[in-house]
Each structure stands twice: as C-alpha cells, then as structure tokens.
Chain A
C-alpha cells in the first residue's frame, strides 16, 4: 500500500509555456502533499506544503506565482510551472502523507527540461 504516482515522468517544453505535473495517492487519502525540487547532486529542497482544500504554504524563496499548487482532493495535487524558463529545469518530486509529516510516501519524480 501507500503508492504515490506522478505524471508525466518527464517533459520537455519551450521557454514561456506552462507545464502541469500531477501527483496522485493511489490507495490512500492524503491530507497533506509536499512538493520538492532536486538539483543534480543536491538534496531535495521542499518547495511547498499543501493541505486538501487549503492554499499551499510555500517555503522561503519559492515564487508562489511561478509554481502554482492545487490540492483539490484527497488523492490529487498538481504543480503548474508557469511561463517556464531554462532555469526551471529540474527534477520535481511529490510526496503524500496521511497525517504526520514524518510519514511521507514519495512519487517517482518528474524531470522537466525547458528549452
């Protein structure tokens, strides 16, 4: 149990376009979902925390107008990278939690390349 999927697994887009990444908890209801960004040879950096039906809480330095997060249901959260630029190219990982922040189940990640 506790499977989290992400779609797409990788995406290439042109600069200036928007890209949406989905994160789904397949066999449980996730009250909280987390979005991380991982640079090569770097740790996972938390971008934002979202609770179902509430606005996401963004970490310091993360542009909320750039990275739109929607958590409309207990099994789905989306991250939209708006007006993407090459510097947004990265590996984006989501995780989902039933309750405690300590128990997070991670998706396989989405690799974004902006040309």
Chain B
C-alpha cells in the first residue's frame, strides 16, 4: 500500500540555519504530496502541497519539489526562525485518504 517515510527527528538547529527534512514515498498512481506543520498545542496545518511531478510548493519561506524520479518531496528552508519550531509531517493523498509520515520535530534555538 501507499506509504511515506520521513527522516527521524528530533532536529535541532540554530536560528538562520538551513533546514532540510527528507521525505520519500511509495504510491500507486500519481498522488498529491503535502507538508503539514503542527505547532505546540495546535492542530495540523497545511504548509504546502504539490499535485504533480516537478511542481514546487512553497509557503512562509519553505519549499518542496515533487520529484517523481526519486519519489521524494524534501522540505527546505534557507533560514529558519525560532517560530518555526514545530512538528512537520509529510503526507500523500491516495485511495481517498491521506497517508502520513511519522513526523519530524524541529527545534530552533536563538
């Protein structure tokens, strides 16, 4: 079945550092891909998405490119802020449901 694998956390960075969180997927067909973010005490929020190969999703300085050849959707940000501290989930849509990765906790220190 469909599955998502993302890098294990936690990830700890200093402010203004470069962030990469790896995500790869296995799916039949051509799923849409998503990154969700969960801030402490809040529900998951959609951060960005891409619906087809080579699409780049971007929001709040975060980017991810749908790579069909490598079945990947890595999340990147050039300069993280303390306010980016959260748990990040990679997900795909398939068979009428969302399939999530395990989540990666990011802590950004000042």
- Chain A residues in contact with chain B, CB under 8 A? 4, 6, 34, 41-44, 46, 49, 93, 95, 101-109
Complex Cα distance A108/B100, Å? Answer: 16
Beta-carbon contact of A102 and B89 below 8 Å: no
Beta-carbon contact of A4 and B100 below 8 Å: no
Stretch at the interface among B12-20, B36-44, B78-86: B36-44
Given contacts A101-B96, A102-B93, contact A43 B43 (CB under 8 A): no
- Tell me the interface secondary structure of chain B in the complex: strand
Beta-carbon contact of B102 and A43 below 8 Å: yes
Looking at the complex, which one of A4, A43, A105 makes contact with B89 (CB distance below 8 Å)? Answer: A43
Looking at the complex, which one of B34, B41, B42, B97 makes contact with A46 (CB distance below 8 Å)? Answer: B97
Chain A residue contacts of B102, Cβ below 8 A: 41-43
Q: Is B57 an interface residue (CB 8 A)?
A: no
Beta-carbon contact of B97 and A109 below 8 Å: no
Beta-carbon contact of B98 and A101 below 8 Å: yes
Q: Chain B contact residues (Cβ within 8 angstroms of A): what range? A: 20 to 34
Looking at the complex, which one of A43, A49, A105, A109 makes contact with B103 (CB distance below 8 Å)? Answer: A43
For chain B residues 7-49, which have a beta carbon within 8 Å of chain A?
32, 34, 36, 41-46, 49
Looking at the complex, which one of B4, B43, B46 makes contact with A93 (CB distance below 8 Å)? Answer: B43
Complex Cα distance A96/B19, Å? Answer: 30
Chain B residue contacts of A46, Cβ below 8 A: 97-98
Which of B32, B34, B41, B100 has the largest count of A CB atoms less than 10 A from its CB? B100
Within the complex, what minimum Cβ distance (angstroms) separates A52 from chain B? 16
Beta-carbon contact of A106 and B45 below 8 Å: yes
List of 9 A-B pairs having minimum Cβ-Cβ separation, nearest first? A106-B43, A106-B44, A43-B100, A108-B43, A43-B102, A44-B100, A102-B93, A107-B43, A46-B97
Looking at the complex, which one of B32, B42, B43, B101 makes contact with A102 (CB distance below 8 Å)? Answer: B32
Beta-carbon contact of B101 and A109 below 8 Å: no
Residue pairs across A and B with Cβ atoms less than 8 A apart, 9 shown, are A43-B4, A43-B89, A43-B100, A43-B103, A46-B97, A101-B93, A102-B32, A105-B43, A107-B43
